[in-house]
Amino acid sequence: MTTWRRAAKQTIYERLIPKRWPVLYDLGGIPNARDWYCEGPFVDKNLFNDEPDSAQTQQRFERTNWNPRIALAEVHASGTVRAARILGPPASLMDPLFRDPKDPAGGGIGLTKLEFFSPRLFRYFPREPSGDRAILGITDEYQTLAPSPGYISGGIPCSQVPDPPGNSG
């Protein structure tokens, strides 16, 4: 693939993917987005159950020593308040983005996660990284969606976990 064609493909992906999946979710210190869960009475939320590895990244906020797992997904959840899921992009779309263009197994697009998963292209939920929120004294019910049976961080019951953001299913 020529440099011009690869650059054109990178630009197209950088413009179209954020239109369909515009939100980077701060999931806290979990190792994989698929590990996030919220269980409680009549609630079973594995919001990022189908999130491919290529649609998530570990980010680093040096000022606050916060290194959350970030997942790319839709704005609103599907399903119900009791069994919600947030759909992210499929691996078949995301995997080639970060593969080396010279890979003999199938040329990739050659993007890096560091440049792709950024506020330049996407918006964060919550708006401030969770570690920064604590320092800034920001408190609301939409804190880090961290795994904990029956509760998310801050002691918020699973039933109040947003069917994000603002979806009341």
- The 10s digit of each residue's pLDDT in 46-86 is 788 899 999 999 988 777 777 888 899 998 777 776 677 88
Q: Which one has a higher pLDDT value, 118 or 38?
A: 118
CA distances from 97 to 46, 58, 94, 103 (A): 26, 17, 5, 12
> Does pTM top 0.85 for this prediction?
no
Strand ranges in the chain using DSSP code E only, listed in sequence order: 23-26, 38-40, 43-45, 56-58, 69-73, 123-125, 151-152, 156-157
> pLDDT averaged over the chain?
75
CA distances from 106 to 10, 102, 163 (A): 16, 8, 37
- The 10s digit of each residue's pLDDT in 112-166 is 998 899 888 998 776 555 555 555 454 444 344 444 444 443 334 555 554 444 4
DSSP state for residue 5 in the 8-state scheme: H
Closest CA to 70 of 113, 41, 33, 95: 33
